[in-house]
Amino acid sequence: MRSIVRNGGLLTGAALLLAGCGSFDGKRDGGPAASQAPAPAAPAGAADTPVKLGAPFTIGAVTYAPADIPDYDDVGYASWYGDEAAGRPTANGETFDPDAISAAHKTLPLPSYVEVTALDTGRTILVRVNDRGPMVNDRLIDLSRGAAEQLGLGGGVAAVRVRRTNPPMAERAQLRAGRAVPERIATPDSLLAILRTKARALPVPANTPAAAATAADVPPAATPSSSGDERLIVENPDVEPAPAPAAAAKPAPAAAVYVVQVAAFSTEARAKAAATATGGVVSRAGNLWRVRIGPFASQPEAQAALAKAKGKGFRDAVVMRDR
């Protein structure tokens, strides 16, 4: 059995990039300012003191020791949980609200505040950690449904960066009250490339329900983008599936199958409209209606369909392997 304290540290070469963007220790260099309107009263039991760590605990053969690491910064996979845990107590004694912007983490103090960045889009949100989890070893953080919707995640697990931060008191109060605060400035492409490279080196989690109360792994509702269009839900486009283990007698490999994921919508009517415009088909995926074109036997065919979808205005469409 081995003991692990997750502390990725800032990536080499990323520190200089961070100095000119986003936020640092609660001081923001640009982007939308936090609302100055007074936050409503926080839910009963929601407070930033006392801060709790808790005893080490074991998942499988791995032991995690909670620790107060001010510069915590790591890359991994996020899942999310919602109504199945609604109303239950979190690890620090609060009542879990699926629509609040909160999260579960294995080792960070409870509560603490982190910036979570979706590595497919570069979008970053501020989240309050008030629970322990995910209770599976291949995931870094479990987001509440509300946090997953704000970040635009769906379709199971997604690669993210989690960085601890010290936000202003006004933002802390809003999150304690269950309200989202404005997104941070989008992460620059140069830094995203570094983070994505680190994520590719990690084992891809199995897209199955978690063994504990957190991590339900069913898609949340889609989040509208600032333009008013439904946001695309990308299913790990930057991470290739792990290769199958070698066998004594290998069968002939099956031909690769590709699809174009146009978008995922929270309403069936909008999904059907998108399917009509692109020649795609609509399929139900949890709480979402997903629009896809294909399948295609070759990547060039899929790329041609991708160009068609983008030409119809679906800029976030992406080619995926149909697994």
pLDDT in tens, 94-113: 999 999 999 999 999 999 99
Q: What is the pLDDT of residue 221?
A: 30
Q: What is the pLDDT of residue 26?
A: 35
CA distance 104 to 214: 8
**Mean pLDDT across the chain:** 74
Domains in the chain, please, with CATH?
A: 2-200 (2.40.40.10), 258-321 (3.30.70.1070)
CA distance 114 to 267: 31
- Which tops the pLDDT comparison, 204 or 281? 281
- Which tops the pLDDT comparison, 118 or 306? 118
